[in-house]
């Protein structure tokens, strides 16, 4: 599963990244995840990404993509000619990979 997010780099420039998760995310309801809150993304002082989903903590790593991706938006130019154009909105150069098993967070009981 891949999730697209907006981040900032060391110079405070706005960049885009992909979050890659190993396995499946399941919801208690059958509603799709689109537009829904999934979890909190934090970075340690050393730059290690941490993803908190419910009561689970995932440790990840940031990698640079070998080939950047483009985030495209599809626009219909003309309805009578069925012409369509694609506009590149952002270039994605980073990926946050979370491939280890999540660690459960257990509060004081």
pLDDT in tens, 46-62: 989 999 988 899 999 99
- DSSP SS3 for 61: strand
- pTM, full prediction: 0.73
pLDDT tens track for 29-39: 777 777 778 88
Domain ranges for the chain, please list them: 2-104
Report the alpha-carbon distance of residue 68 to residue 66 in Å, rounded: 7
Question: Is pLDDT of 104 > 70?
Answer: yes
Q: Where are the alpha helices (DSSP H) in 1-109?
A: none
Q: Give me the chain's average pLDDT, please.
A: 82
Q: Which fold has domain 2-104?
A: Immunoglobulin-like (2.60.40)
The pLDDT value recorded for residue 98 is 93
Task: Assign 24 a pLDDT band (cuts: 50, 70, 90).
Answer: confident
């Amino acid at each position: 599963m891949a999730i697209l997010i907006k981040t900032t780099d060391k110079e405070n420039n706005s960049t885009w990244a992909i979050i890659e998760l190993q396995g499946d995310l399941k919801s208690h309801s059958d509603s799709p995840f689109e537009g829904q809150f999934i979890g909190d993304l934090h970075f340690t002082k050393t730059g290690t990404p941490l993803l908190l989903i419910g009561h689970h903590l995932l440790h990840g790593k940031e990698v640079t993509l070998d080939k950047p991706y483009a985030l495209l938006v599809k626009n219909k130019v003309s309805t009578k000619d069925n012409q369509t154009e694609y506009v590149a909105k952002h270039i994605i150069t980073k990926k946050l990979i979370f491939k280890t098993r999540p660690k459960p967070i257990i509060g004081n009981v």
